[in-house]
Amino acid sequence: MRYGHFDDQNREYVIETPETPLPWINYLGSESYFGLISNTAGGYSFYKDARLRRLTRYRYNNAPLDTGGRYIYLRDNDPNSARSWSPTWMPTRTPLDFYECRHGMGYTSIRSRLAGIESQTRYFVPLGENLEIWELTLTNQRDQPASLSVFSAIEFNLWDAMDDATNFQRNYSIGQVEVVDGVIYHKTEYRERRDHFAYFACSEKLAGFDTQRDDFLGSYRGWDSPKVVESGQSADSITHGWQPIGSHHVKVQLKAGEQKKIIFILGYHENSKDDKFDPPESQTINKRTVLPVISKYLLADQVEKAFEALRVHWLGLLDKYQVVTPDEHTNRMVNIWNAYQTMITFNMSRSASYFESGIGRGMGFRDSTQDLLGFVHLIPERARERILDLAATQLETGGAYHQYQPLTKRGNNDVGSGFNDDPLWLVLAVTAYVKETGDWSILNEQVPYDNKPGSEEALHGHLQRSIQYTLDRLGPHGLPLIGRADWNDCLNLNCFSDTPGQSFQTTTNKEGKVAESVFIAGLFVLAAKEMAGLCEKLEGKGEKQDHNFSLLTSHFYLEKAAKMESTIWQHGWDGDWFRRAYDDFSHVLGSKENDEGKIFIEPQGICVMAGLGVEDGRAQKAMNSVAEHLATPHGIVLQQPAFSKYYLHLGEISSYPPGYKENAGIFCHTNPWIMVSEAKLGNGDKAHDYYSRINPSAREEISDLHRCEPYIYAQMIAGKDAATHGEAKNSWLTGTAAWNYVAISQWILGVRPTYDGLQVAPVVPSAWKNFEVTRSYRGVRYVIQIERKGMGNEVQLEVDGKSINGNIIPLPVENKKEVHVRVTIN
Ligand code: GLC
Ligand code: GLC
């Protein structure tokens, strides 16, 4: 069953009931100020870093699940019709006569009606601003005047979300606010080392306000029944310690049919250190710098302009790749939601969702490098900056910190270290960037290691070290040592953890001179071939070359790739599929010899993507094995048979009950690797079939089973060994977004950037007779019309009326802004 519907025209998902199986959320903000918002206005906001600069509180894993948000209460003050309710349904859960939530590109709008009072609240963050707007429109649809009270409510977080949730002996004493001219300023710790504060403002004259939670709610009440809302009277409380909140009270008289807009803004502001108080000797916030921003966005026409700018911004971004195919689920994911999700994963990495607390993880090295693959065409300048930030956290050994905090941009080992696949992903990110943009200058950028001044080297040198890192760490079979784990965080072959609660990610490991990963071997071949391609281009530049680094030849990388390939054939091929690893006892994993974990998805995908066995039928054999052993109607599971018990020598993978997460769940990130592989083998029907099995839009009709949002990918769908096979979890922040985007846009639809121009090599379902792709690339708009004439995958291209050799559209002459391409598939 469905809980809503897609409105493709408006690029929105429309939720028709507040009681979705799980909170279905959206994200606000695009660069520094961010928020998460559910379909019932739950969620929270932060500046840059969900852990270190949290603006509002949220209570994870609560009952009900979605507790804490951007709440508005309405109260009918007429004694004859007196009642109060939440126009977003939560937190009062008063039954509404009508409810609708529209999640769109960077905004969420919730509309409802009760007893003839309609309310619509549009939430968004204006481009370039560190604030969010709640624009409330009230309409009196009664034939009588209405006398209403509106209460806003948020709970401030004391900045460090971890500390805020744990350190009460201090925190109950430090909360401070100021309330001036109806604006509530949250300034905890501003008196000492913080130069930033939050503010919560309202466009209307206030009938009252509150800043102390207990005074607003009442000591023994929850957000579902605040005392102040019940009585209709704010306490005008000023908090001293305890729990600072922000609540405005506005009284509204509406004639029959009358409409009124009320604007709230919640924002973050920084002052310069030496000008933070006004007067300078006081402890009062200097508000001169923030007041112009506040007064600007309290004006309805400015809000409208800002919303329009956001809309146009997203139209422009999405316009970079648009497609019209016979499949509506493909169209809507490519044109709208998958592109949108790649932006969200680019911004958030794995830090803040309804499954990631924002406290646990910062920006992951391997996560962010892969996220770039799906994002780079949207805003290449931001991809460039991200690449340089990530590379600056790389270690001199070529290895990488597993993550960094976005606020400080410094790498750390908080979530573990020594994942031996990490650095190789950097190669894929950088080459994808150069293919997209033609910006070779990035390779010259001087980037430090571990952010240490004096250690700078050209980015190209970082890539060399990434490759060398693997070569320096080969095991007994000549395969790469796995380290703490490879892409599969839970394959912990050096961990041997038998202590309850110990973290598989951070606990001290064995030295790890034995356990090897076939996955890293495949990834190495892929990355080394990419390096070879890059160097070949650099060599080709000959005289014209203007790089400031010494170049290893493409030959060098091809040789290393070939050597690794032959090692894989020797020790990593099981006869019908690729093996997964060798453990600390040098026993094989992912082989017919194993009782459990006989076949894993990751090496099949990565090795075939790297080109292994594509020519000689072995890749096809591996794909057949995937279809036979791993594929289910809900997607492809990670491995089979699932581990039925905990294996000390395998680690976290066997800690999960069978069918969940890495233990044979459908770990969606890996599925597009199989789609790409099938496309490489020319199997368009198969590739698109796999694509559709996990396509959230195609799963909309089974939302009661799937349970997560039908407009974005989730990390995992429970596998066939699980009681809840088909149920999704961990929505939004997953490499699934980028990789599916790559699989469908570059490999199935087949329009992909190369160093020399756009390549067109579709491998689509045989039933597709026609489709069209519009792609912006290096400032040129390519309108590509594709028609199937035969049943194969051979293409013939006609570029602006002239047929060309090969399938790469040559870069157009300067000043040409649009190119028309006709493609026939034979
Ligand atoms: C999570 C991690 C990712 C890892 C994957 C498989 O999604 O963010 O880095 O590769 O799990 O374990
Ligand atoms: C757990 C998860 C895995 C994730 C890791 C991140 O191991 O199973 O998916 O990548 O935590 O730290």
76 C-beta closer than 6 A to ligand 1: no
Nearest Cα to Cα of residue 774 among 749, 792, 756, 793: 749
Reduced 3-state DSSP string for 767-796: CCCEEEEEEEECCEEEEEEEEECCCCCCEE
Residue 544 has pLDDT above 70, yes or no: no
The pLDDT, as a whole number, for residue 7 is 98
730 C-beta closer than 6 A to ligand 1: no
Residue 543 pLDDT class (50, 70, 90 cuts): low
Q: What is the pLDDT of residues 307-328, one digit of tens each?
A: 999 999 999 999 999 999 999 9
Alpha helices, DSSP H only, in 195-299? 213-217, 227-231, 291-297
Residue 213 has pLDDT above 90, yes or no: yes
Q: Which ligand is nearest to the CA of 713?
A: 1
Please state the rounded mean pLDDT for residues 664-672: 98
490 C-beta closer than 6 A to ligand 2: yes
Residues 6+ apart with CB under 8 A from 231: none
Q: What is the pLDDT of residues 139-151, one digit of tens each?
A: 999 999 999 999 9
Residue 523 has pLDDT above 90, yes or no: yes
366 C-beta closer than 6 A to ligand 1: yes
The pLDDT, as a whole number, for residue 712 is 98
The pLDDT, as a whole number, for residue 801 is 96
Return the ligand 2 atom nearest residue 652 CA.
7
Quote the strand ranges of 240-320, DSSP E. 244-254, 259-270
Residues 6+ apart with CB under 8 A from 278: 284, 285, 286, 287, 288
- Residue 275 among the catalytic residues: no
Q: Amino acid identity, residue 97?
A: D
Phi-psi region of 576 (alpha: psi -120 to 50; beta: other; left: phi over 0): alpha
Catalytic residue among 489, 583, 584, 721: 489
Q: How many Cβ atoms are within 10 Å of 767's Cβ, its own excluded?
A: 11
Residue 415 pLDDT class (50, 70, 90 cuts): confident
Residue 38 has pLDDT above 70, yes or no: yes
Task: Report the nearest-CA residue for atom 6 of ligand 2.
Answer: 489
490 C-alpha to ligand 2 centroid (Å): 7
489 C-beta closer than 6 A to ligand 1: yes
The Cα–Cα gap between 368 and 346 comes to 7
488 C-alpha to ligand 2 centroid (Å): 8
Q: Which ligand is nearest to the CA of 349?
A: 1
Residue 760 has pLDDT above 60, yes or no: yes
Q: What is the pLDDT of residues 3-24, one digit of tens each?
A: 999 999 999 999 999 999 999 9
287 C-beta closer than 6 A to ligand 1: no
The pLDDT, as a whole number, for residue 550 is 79
490 C-beta closer than 6 A to ligand 1: yes
150 C-alpha to ligand 2 centroid (Å): 43
The single residue listed with the structure tokens 């075939």 is 608
Return the ligand 2 atom nearest residue 656 CA.
8
47 C-alpha to ligand 2 centroid (Å): 25
391 C-alpha to ligand 2 centroid (Å): 23
The pLDDT, as a whole number, for residue 642 is 98
Question: And the tokens for 406?
Answer: 């976005």
Q: How many Cβ atoms are within 10 Å of 231's Cβ, its own excluded?
A: 12
Please state the rounded mean pLDDT for residues 183-210: 98
Q: Which ligand is nearest to the CA of 505?
A: 2
| Strand partners for 483 | 419
366 C-beta closer than 6 A to ligand 2: no
Q: Which ligand is nearest to the CA of 715?
A: 1
Please state the rounded mean pLDDT for residues 110-132: 98
Residue 2 has pLDDT above 60, yes or no: yes
The pLDDT, as a whole number, for residue 405 is 87
The pLDDT, as a whole number, for residue 763 is 98
Residue 659 pLDDT class (50, 70, 90 cuts): very high
Q: What is the pLDDT of residues 356-405, one digit of tens each?
A: 999 988 899 999 999 999 999 999 999 999 999 999 999 999 999 999 98
Q: What is the pLDDT of residues 425-436, one digit of tens each?
A: 999 999 999 999
Q: What is the pLDDT of residues 47-67, one digit of tens each?
A: 999 999 999 999 999 999 999
505 C-beta closer than 6 A to ligand 2: yes
614 C-alpha to ligand 2 centroid (Å): 32
487 C-alpha to ligand 1 centroid (Å): 6
Task: Report the nearest-CA residue for atom 5 of ligand 2.
Answer: 489
| Packing angle of the helix pair 554-567, 518-540 (nearest 10 deg) | 160
Pocket test for ligand 1, best of 355, 404, 415, 487 (most atoms within 8 A of CB): 487
Return the ligand 1 atom nearest residue 667 CA.
6
Pocket test for ligand 2, best of 350, 361, 490 (most atoms within 8 A of CB): 490
263 C-beta closer than 6 A to ligand 2: no
506 C-alpha to ligand 1 centroid (Å): 15
488 C-beta closer than 6 A to ligand 1: yes
162 C-alpha to ligand 2 centroid (Å): 19
Pocket test for ligand 2, best of 505, 507, 638, 653 (most atoms within 8 A of CB): 505
Residue 664 pLDDT class (50, 70, 90 cuts): very high
User: Who wins on pLDDT, 548 or 513?
Assistant: 513
60 C-alpha to ligand 1 centroid (Å): 21
Return the ligand 2 atom nearest residue 505 CA.
12
206 C-beta closer than 6 A to ligand 2: no
Residue 653 has pLDDT above 60, yes or no: yes
The pLDDT, as a whole number, for residue 815 is 86
DSSP 690-716: HHHHH-TGGGGGGHHHH-S-TTS-EEE
The pLDDT, as a whole number, for residue 545 is 64
Return the ligand 2 atom nearest residue 415 CA.
12
The Cα–Cα gap between 310 and 304 comes to 10
Task: Report the nearest-CA residue for atom 11 of ligand 2.
Answer: 489
Q: Amino acid identity, residue 259?
A: Q
Residue 546 has pLDDT above 80, yes or no: no
768 C-beta closer than 6 A to ligand 1: no
497 C-alpha to ligand 1 centroid (Å): 20
Alpha helices, DSSP H only, in 541-584? 554-567
Q: Which ligand is nearest to the CA of 365?
A: 1
